[in-house]
Structure 1
Amino acid sequence: MSIQDDLPPAVFLDPWLTAEGDGLKSLSETIAERVERKIYTNLTHSARRDAIARRRLVVENVMANMAVMMLSPHAENRNLLAVATAKTKPTRYDRPDYPQSLLSGVLTALQDLGLVIRHPYIYRERSTTVEPTLALMDAILQHGVKLVDIARAEGAETIWLNARTGEIRFKDRTPIKCRMDYDDTAETNGLRAEILRINAHLNESGFRFDGERQSPISLRRLFLLRSEDDAQTFNLSGRLFGGWWQQLKSDRRHLITIGGEPIADLDFRGAFCQLAYVRLTGKLFPGDPYAIEGLEEHRNGCKLAMLSLLSRRGDLKRLSPELKEELPEGWTAKRLVDAFSRHHPALRDAMGKDMGVELMATESQIMVKFLLKLETQEIGAMPLHDGVQCAVSNKGRVAEAMQEVSERLLGVALPVAEKPVVRPEGSQKVAA
């Protein structure tokens, strides 16, 4: 095993990030000048001027991404930026004015200047990644760069369509997906309009972490095809991604405020399992769906197991390392399947049938309609997959909206519960 095999997960480069504040602009200009001295070429004056402008755009974007990775609370202990440097045909996901062909050369210059370290692409394991050196991290701090300095260019695609390739990653055995281009229809235009409305509202909702505004919010919906050969559809998965709060560790959420208020954490209790019951029986499960005998103290393990049982194709024959870590010592795949089958006989025939992405689609539809309802009520809330974080003063109205929307779409209201916001011992409650 090489040292690089132990590298932590990377943050993917976002080509739409730009510099807006003085600190980031100053940093980008300083480094761009150093890159130009490194790359200087014998071009005509006009051609060289155009090349300089294009490289400066790349440098500015890389610096904005490095700043997000270094300063954002959700990227804590993650200092690798994954980049795609291969020349590929442009798609709807690419930024039209982004000079992708110059990215590799700029990264090489940054490495030669001692500002980044490059780690090469490994087939079916990892993209090309770069990490900032101490010199670059010091430069970000010395220029006083803040997350408020970062903006976004307009036009980023918010409706993504991925497809399963049938291949798996060597390292962790997870399925490999590819991004699919698609033609717009009335449906995709409508889906996109919804997310643009939600993003505009969330960016005006006064979200802060430890008193600071974070990088601009750009949620996107990720839909899925079971195969690259499937017809273009948008009825699988569709979950929302891209919110900085979604990857934030639970013990740091107490530092979030909305409009100056501390947050309440609300979720649809047992949502994934309850959606399966509504789909298969037309009714909710009467009780706690995760009160599995022998796993009473392992609720996270129960949730992960339910997700695995309903999302896989075929029988569960062995526990994944992630699932095994969440279960008590001595539990096997057979014991897990037997325990869930006893507690949920109505779901037994649905296990191993790849129903999970269909349930996620229903879950995401509820979440989008719910967020649109909150927008009309001028309430800002941070969506998670099966719940939201909202200002404490709004939690009653938000809980009512959650039940109203779920009942309208399902015919039955999903139960809503408030989860405690974890506060480390000795921490002070955020003042409203």
Structure 2
Amino acid sequence: MTESASKDTSKPVDRPFSPWRFAKTEASKALITEAIGDIQRYEEQRKLRQRKRKEHDRETFELTAEAILCDLMHHALYRRPDAIYVTRSNAVLRDRNRYRPRVYGKTFPDVLDRLAAPELGWIVQEIGDSDWRQGARRTSIRPGPHLLARIDTGGITFADLGLARVTEPIILKSEKADFWDEAQVIDYLDTEETSLFRREMRDINEWLRSADIDYGTYRGDTGHVPDTGDRDLRRIFTRGRFDNGGRLFGGFWQGMSKESRFDRLVIDGEAIVELDYAQMGPRQLYGIACAVPDAADLYAIPGFEEHRKGIKIVFSAMAFHDKPLTRMPRGAAGKFPRGARISEITEAIMRHHPAIADLFFSGVGHQVQFQESRIMVDILLSLKSNGIVALPIHDAILVASSNAAVAKQVMADVFSHHVGFPGLVDVSSTHSG
């Protein structure tokens, strides 16, 4: 079950800087050594430093330059049209917590400025706004002409870049003040529960790292190429609570279109199938209410049978909101007859589902999402114990076609364990549009 929101897809969206990439081979290490040498000569010529860096500071400086350049090399190899956004905020860079890598320190802006010097041309930097007002521009970076040239002459590929395995897989985010607010990560003290969550994610990630997963390319391809080594997943909990959210994010396959997954993704040398829970959110609500749904399609609401897509959006909004809706949720307005009022739609849904009517407008959707994440983690661990690789996409998984039957049974059983009755699982072997 998800909160719906329309997104502007008319222009590329910048992605966040990943501080965990490093040079893995002699080719990429040589490039980093060259860049660091350029920076040091630039500092000497401009008299930007009075004395040499201390050993610890020198290591941090070199690691920072390496992380910036390696992430930009990865970005260029991925052939993405957008930029990478970074922070230059002292408040952020001086705050040490479980999420903050060593390279994100007080000297980070200085390293950016050195690499962006026109005389060097390693990166292109666009300085953002210094305030936090709505719509403020974030500082962004792109590969510079010299870096692009060295990627080409050095024959740099994805294989030359590594990804450190120290990323925190259990992330806690604050509650949003409103739709436009950006939730912030929250530091926390570990408990038995968070330690268990972390062990589960590390078991899953270790399994995925060793899996036989490939992406097919065709002669003449010019589009984005995913990094099939980017497989680590993380659980993101919301509203400052470890019983809210918890969905799994990450993995190169999550950013692919459904069509590309079916056309190009290969697991264990086989084409993939997608297994997706049908009507998962509504069925979870029935489980919470200790009731069993008796309708085949819980989104088929009398009077709105021809508007199922709109009903799904409204249904989800009714679960996530803590008070009755006064207007159409984002994305729903065009999916109902002209003149339809939101109160009529919500009342029709509640009349048709009296067993769960009391759960609407209570914010229960966040707990439903947490249960969904627990179901997915248990599915992945169960399939791992059977030697089956599964790639999660929220409430769906991708598996090799020969494993479809076993995976479907596991999904039905795990849903039953958490909810109280078997889950309905749809299996797709081709892109259906």
Under TM normalisation by the shorter chain, which class is it? 0.7 to 0.9
On the 8 A contact 1:18/1:152 being kept in 2, the answer is yes
Listed as ranges, the matches of 1:360-379 within 5 Å are 360-379=369-388
In the TM superposition, what whole-angstrom CA distance separates every residue of 1:185-243 from its partner, at most 9, and x where no partner exists? 222111111110000001111222226752332211112236xxxxxx52111111112
Listed as ranges, the matches of 1:329-408 within 5 Å are 332-408=341-417
- Write the letter of the residue equivalent to 1:239: R
2:113 matched to 1:102?
no
Partners of 2:296 and 2:374 in 1: CA distance: 24
CA RMSD of aligned residues (A): 3.0
Residue 36 of structure 1 deviates from its aligned partner by 3.1
Q: Give the secondary structure class of the aligned counterpart of 2:139.
A: strand
2:43 matched to 1:34?
no
Partners of 2:160 and 2:335 in 1: CA distance: 40
On the 8 A contact 1:70/1:79 being kept in 2, the answer is no
Partner residue in 2 for 1:241: 249
| Identical amino acids, percent of aligned pairs | 25
On the 8 A contact 2:291/2:355 being kept in 1, the answer is no
On the 8 A contact 1:162/1:177 being kept in 2, the answer is yes
- TM-score, normalised on structure 1? 0.83
On the 8 A contact 1:311/1:354 being kept in 2, the answer is yes
Q: Give the secondary structure class of the aligned counterpart of 1:160.
A: strand
Q: Give the secondary structure class of the aligned counterpart of 1:383.
A: strand
Q: Give the secondary structure class of the aligned counterpart of 1:240.
A: strand
Q: 1:252 aligns with which of 252, 260, 269?
A: 260
- Note closer, same or farther for the CA distance 1:18–1:314 as it changes in structure 2 (3 Å cut): same
Partner residue in 1 for 2:75: 69
In the TM superposition, what whole-angstrom CA distance separates every residue of 1:11-62 from its partner, at most 9, and x where no partner exists? 1122222221445434433333333333444344463x65454322112212
- Note closer, same or farther for the CA distance 1:151–1:407 as it changes in structure 2 (3 Å cut): same
Partners of 1:325 and 1:297 in 2: CA distance: 13
Partner residue in 2 for 1:192: 198
On the 8 A contact 2:20/2:67 being kept in 1, the answer is yes
Partners of 1:395 and 1:197 in 2: CA distance: 22
2:84 matched to 1:80?
yes
On the 8 A contact 1:11/1:82 being kept in 2, the answer is no
- Note closer, same or farther for the CA distance 1:247–1:326 as it changes in structure 2 (3 Å cut): farther
Partner residue in 2 for 1:93: 99
Q: Which runs of 5+ in 2 are unaligned?
A: 1-9, 218-225
Partners of 1:353 and 1:253 in 2: CA distance: 37
Partners of 1:380 and 1:405 in 2: CA distance: 17
In the TM superposition, what whole-angstrom CA distance separates every residue of 1:131-172 from its partner, at most 9, and x where no partner exists? 31562555444433323333222332111112215x23xxxx
Residue 376 of structure 1 deviates from its aligned partner by 1.0
Partner residue in 2 for 1:428: none
Partners of 1:299 and 1:30 in 2: CA distance: 59
On the 8 A contact 1:17/1:150 being kept in 2, the answer is yes
Q: Give the secondary structure class of the aligned counterpart of 1:246.
A: helix
Q: 2:172 aligns with which of 161, 167, 183?
A: 161
- Write the letter of the residue equivalent to 1:257: V
Partner residue in 2 for 1:229: none
Partners of 1:362 and 1:180 in 2: CA distance: 21
Partner residue in 2 for 1:276: 285
Partner residue in 2 for 1:429: none
Residue 295 of structure 1 deviates from its aligned partner by 6.3
Q: 2:326 aligns with which of 293, 313, 317?
A: 317
Partners of 2:113 and 2:337 in 1: CA distance: 48
Q: Give the secondary structure class of the aligned counterpart of 1:164.
A: coil
On the 8 A contact 2:317/2:329 being kept in 1, the answer is no
Residue 371 of structure 1 deviates from its aligned partner by 0.8
Partner residue in 2 for 1:430: none
2:160 matched to 1:149?
yes
- Note closer, same or farther for the CA distance 1:54–1:338 as it changes in structure 2 (3 Å cut): same
Q: Which runs of 5+ in 1 are unaligned?
A: 1-5, 227-232, 425-432
Partners of 1:39 and 1:264 in 2: CA distance: 55
Partner residue in 1 for 2:223: none
Q: Give the secondary structure class of the aligned counterpart of 2:184.
A: strand
Partner residue in 2 for 1:59: 65
Residue 346 of structure 1 deviates from its aligned partner by 3.4
Residue 124 of structure 1 deviates from its aligned partner by 4.1
- Write the letter of the residue equivalent to 2:205: N
- Write the letter of the residue equivalent to 1:399: K
Partners of 2:331 and 2:116 in 1: CA distance: 35
In the TM superposition, what whole-angstrom CA distance separates every residue of 1:240-263 from its partner, at most 9, and x where no partner exists? 111222222222212111122111
- Note closer, same or farther for the CA distance 1:327–1:17 as it changes in structure 2 (3 Å cut): farther
2:213 matched to 1:207?
yes
Provide the aligned length of Structure 1 versus Structure 2.
404
Q: Give the secondary structure class of the aligned counterpart of 2:358.
A: helix
- Write the letter of the residue equivalent to 1:243: G
- Note closer, same or farther for the CA distance 1:390–1:141 as it changes in structure 2 (3 Å cut): farther
Residue 82 of structure 1 deviates from its aligned partner by 3.9
On the 8 A contact 1:150/1:216 being kept in 2, the answer is no
On the 8 A contact 1:10/1:129 being kept in 2, the answer is no
In the TM superposition, what whole-angstrom CA distance separates every residue of 1:89-125 from its partner, at most 9, and x where no partner exists? 2001122x32521221122233333422324144244
- Note closer, same or farther for the CA distance 1:21–1:88 as it changes in structure 2 (3 Å cut): same
Partners of 2:86 and 2:360 in 1: CA distance: 35
Residue 296 of structure 1 deviates from its aligned partner by 5.9
On the 8 A contact 1:379/1:394 being kept in 2, the answer is yes
Partners of 2:333 and 2:95 in 1: CA distance: 41
Partners of 2:385 and 2:421 in 1: CA distance: 23
